[in-house]
């Protein structure tokens, strides 16, 4: 399994990795225990500050771990981790230690207590910015306070969930339409 050597990355630019809507692995820590869950429902909500909204169903073990610690790490896995992404997304941290079970390596964060996942291409350390939408929509609004991204490849091969057991794998890129954009919208 590949381990990515990640470098510091500007937090106001994490949309380069989250805007395409990859499946992410959200890691958390609370009272000496760590956990990981799979998330498809997330969105960029701003770049200065760097905000990300994540839907965490209240029946998931991660829900209370993240709500109480007010922190998490959003990790971006690549296609080689697909089977683990599904396994992590169908098991509960109530029953197992997912780092051990799935053979993933926790790396201490610099700004949060939650661990980064070494085998993921990018890891974004987050603090809970706004808890108001949690009771109504299970929507956690995080601020990315520290970003770590692998130097290569430039475009990681990420997983995008279509539902019904179907993943779309990221593939070809084109700059053909770049000239049609307003510069401020690039
Ligand atoms: C492809 C995929 C996408 C998922 N997306 C989400 C999501 O956006 N939000 C969510 O709450 N659960 C989502 N899940 C389900 C959780 O990952 C799953 O319930 C997991 O077991 C929670 O782990 P925990 O109980 O240890 O927190 C997804 C699962 C898979 C396989």
Each residue's pLDDT tens digit, 14-24: 999 999 999 99
Q: Is the peptide bond before 91 cis (omega within 30 degrees of 0)?
A: no
Q: For ligand 1, is residue 139 a contact (CB within 6 Å)?
A: no
Each residue's pLDDT tens digit, 58-73: 999 999 999 999 999 9
Spatial distance between the Cα atoms of 99 and 50, rounded to a whole number of angstroms: 27
152, 145 in Cβ contact below 8 A?
no
Spatial distance between the Cα atoms of 86 and 82, rounded to a whole number of angstroms: 6
Q: Which atom of ligand 1 is nearest to the CA of 42?
A: 8
Among 8, 3, 4, 22, residue whose Cα is nearest residue 109: 8
Residue 85 CA to chain centroid, in angstroms?
Answer: 12
Looking at residue 24, its pLDDT comes to: 99
β-bridge partners, 55: 139
Spatial distance between the Cα atoms of 114 and 70, rounded to a whole number of angstroms: 10
11, 142 in Cβ contact below 8 A?
no
- Dist. CA 39 → ligand 1 center (Å): 5
Q: For ligand 1, is residue 89 a contact (CB within 6 Å)?
A: yes
Identify the residue whose C-alpha is closest to ligand 1 atom 30: 89
Q: For ligand 1, is residue 35 a contact (CB within 6 Å)?
A: yes
Q: For ligand 1, is residue 74 a contact (CB within 6 Å)?
A: no
Tokens 């890691």, located at residue? 27
Each residue's pLDDT tens digit, 26-54: 999 999 999 999 999 999 999 999 999 99
- Dist. CA 92 → ligand 1 center (Å): 9
Mutate to test the pocket of ligand 1, among 18, 36, 39, 95 (most ligand atoms within 8 A of CB): 39
Q: For ligand 1, is residue 50 a contact (CB within 6 Å)?
A: no
Residue 1 CA to chain centroid, in angstroms?
Answer: 19
Each residue's pLDDT tens digit, 150-186: 999 999 999 999 999 999 999 999 999 999 999 998 9
**DSSP secondary structure string, 162-186?**
EETTEEEEP-----TTGGGS-GGG-
Each residue's pLDDT tens digit, 111-164: 999 999 999 999 999 999 999 999 999 999 999 999 999 999 999 999 999 999
Q: Which residues contact 21 (CB under 8 A, 6 or more apart)?
A: 40, 42, 43, 160
């Amino acid at each position: 399994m590949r381990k990515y050597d990640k470098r510091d990355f500007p937090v106001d630019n994490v949309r380069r990795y989250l805007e395409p809507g990859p499946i992410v692995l959200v890691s958390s820590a609370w009272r000496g225990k760590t956990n990981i869950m799979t998330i498809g429902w997330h969105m960029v909500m701003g770049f200065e500050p760097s905000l990300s909204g994540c839907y965490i169903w209240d029946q998931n073990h991660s829900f209370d771990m993240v709500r109480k610690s007010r922190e998490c790490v959003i990790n971006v896995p690549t296609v080689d981790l697909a089977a683990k992404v599904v396994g992590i997304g169908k098991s509960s941290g109530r029953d197992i230690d997912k780092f051990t079970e799935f053979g993933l390596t926790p790396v201490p964060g610099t700004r949060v207590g939650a661990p980064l996942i070494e085998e993921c291409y990018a890891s974004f350390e987050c603090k809970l910015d706004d808890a108001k939408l949690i009771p109504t929509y299970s929507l956690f609004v995080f601020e990315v306070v520290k970003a770590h991204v692998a130097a290569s490849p430039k475009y990681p091969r990420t997983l995008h969930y279509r539902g019904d057991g179907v993943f779309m794998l990221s593939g070809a890129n084109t700059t053909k339409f770049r000239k049609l954009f307003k510069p401020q919208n690039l």
